[in-house]
Structure 1
Amino acid sequence: MTDLPAPIDAVLFDRDGTLVVDEPYNGDPARVVPMPTAHAAVELLRRSGLPLGVVSNQSGIGRGIVTREQVDAVNARLDELLGPFDVWCICPHAPEAGCDCRKPAPGLVLEAAERLGVEPGHCVVIGDIGADVGAAEAAGAMSILVPTAVTLPEEVDAAPRTVLDLLAAAELVLTAVVAGHDARGGR
């Protein structure tokens, strides 16, 4: 595991497979189940004062499998379960659309950083697959990979930082935040 450079001004999470158990094309808020350490990780980061956002590919919208309203309802349920996130950035396009927002393109990370009023390079993206890491890199942000059963071995090998769970990711972020405060004499 490699330390994160400071400053860190925001944390952006992937949704499916990172914050919640991945239910492909989920449009049902009742099926939202947070990952095992999601609540503790989000609370730890929220107490630090960092803005928190979600950057999520939702190709089911573009494929006609779910509606934007269904995705918004799932997101609202996650806000209820983990506390409200400061920003939600969703790519509604199918993969073949060739948009600039679908991860691993940088669009969602850049949009979230702009909406939060922070530099993309001061954001940490936490996700479970290579597309999350790729989006962070493309936007000039930092990344932490939290592998799951669907994470490919080559994605783990290529990630600059890998941890076992979301709580470990939050602790890594906070270590860097504290180091940054110490180096700058506090905020």
Structure 2
Amino acid sequence: MKLAILDRDGTINALGEDEFITSPADWKPLPGALDAIARLNHAGWHVVVAANQPGLGRGLFDMVTLNAVHAAMHKQLAAVGGRIDAVFYCPHAPDEGCHCRKPAPGLLEQICERYGVDPDKVCIIGSCLSHMQAGAAVHGILHLVCTGQAAGVDPSAPLPPEWPAGVQTHTSMVALVDHLLAPPKPPATTVLSANSV
């Protein structure tokens, strides 16, 4: 199974005011992101979202609102022929010390267990340090999209030392999906000269 675990805010949709999405009207997809997910789906990929939602723990919004936000996301994605199989989220505030709030790996572990896949074969896609750190903790394949919190990151430059090793960087979800779906390069061939025969 080809599985991609995406962060939500800043990766699929624009960040809201104070980086929280508190109503369905606030949920605005980033340019090309929904079509990129649809392309993954059509190529046989399963896409799951893993998101910290501390606004729940802080009382900024309730479960009804969160479900409505995700319903809007699913509806807009379906309109372009794509789907997100499931949304896993951590409802806890940062000071609650849970195992599921990224950069802790709990959410990613739950997803891999649910889908019966080895984490080291899963693409972990996000736009923030905590998502990459959680992905590194489960030994996933790390892809940083330079949008959202990572909008200031130069994808052609080395990442700062606090980022996990092995992170591949991409300008956008569109560029990432172009990379993932690119046909494999043929192996290099060796041409023998007449003198070497």
2:193 maps to which residue?
none
- Per the normalisation by structure 1, the TM-score is 0.83
Q: How does 1:148-163 map to 2 (within 5 A)?
A: 148=147, 150-151=149-150, 156-157=159-160, 158=163, 160-163=167-170
1:22 maps to which residue?
15
- Whether the 8 Å contact between 1:25 and 1:66 is mirrored in structure 2 is no
Greater relative contact order (Cα < 8 A, sep 6+): 1
Mapped partners of 1:64, 1:124: distance in 2: 32
Query: How far apart are residue 149 of structure 1 and its match?
Result: 5.7
Pair 106,167 (structure 1): closer, same or farther in 2 beyond 3 Å: same
1:47 maps to which residue?
42
Mapped partners of 1:93, 1:156: distance in 2: 29
Which sits farther off after the overlay, 121-130 or 153-162?
153-162
Query: How far apart are residue 153 of structure 1 and its match?
Result: 5.2
1:168 maps to which residue?
175
Query: How far apart are residue 70 of structure 1 and its match?
Result: 1.1
Moved over 4 A (4+): 152-155
1:141 maps to which residue?
140
Q: How does 1:69-84 map to 2 (within 5 A)?
A: 69-83=64-78, 84=83
Pair 149,79 (structure 1): closer, same or farther in 2 beyond 3 Å: closer
Q: Give the letter for the 2:99 counterpart.
A: D
Cα deviation, 1:48-69, whole Å, max 9, x if unaligned, reads 1111100000000011111122
Mapped partners of 1:20, 1:44: distance in 2: 17
Pair 16,78 (structure 1): closer, same or farther in 2 beyond 3 Å: same
Mapped partners of 1:149, 1:101: distance in 2: 21
- Gaps in structure 2 of 5+ consecutive residues: 188-197
Which sits farther off after the overlay, 12-21 or 76-85?
76-85
1:93 maps to which residue?
92
Mapped partners of 1:56, 1:43: distance in 2: 20
2:57 counterpart of 1:62? yes
Mapped partners of 1:14, 1:45: distance in 2: 15
Query: How far apart are residue 140 of structure 1 and its match?
Result: 1.6
- Whether the 8 Å contact between 1:18 and 1:127 is mirrored in structure 2 is yes
Aligned length: 172
- Whether the 8 Å contact between 1:107 and 1:139 is mirrored in structure 2 is no
Percent sequence identity over matched residues? Answer: 32
1:5 maps to which residue?
none
SS of 1:162's partner is strand
Structure with greater helix percent: 1
Query: How far apart are residue 127 of structure 1 and its match?
Result: 0.7
SS of 2:133's partner is helix
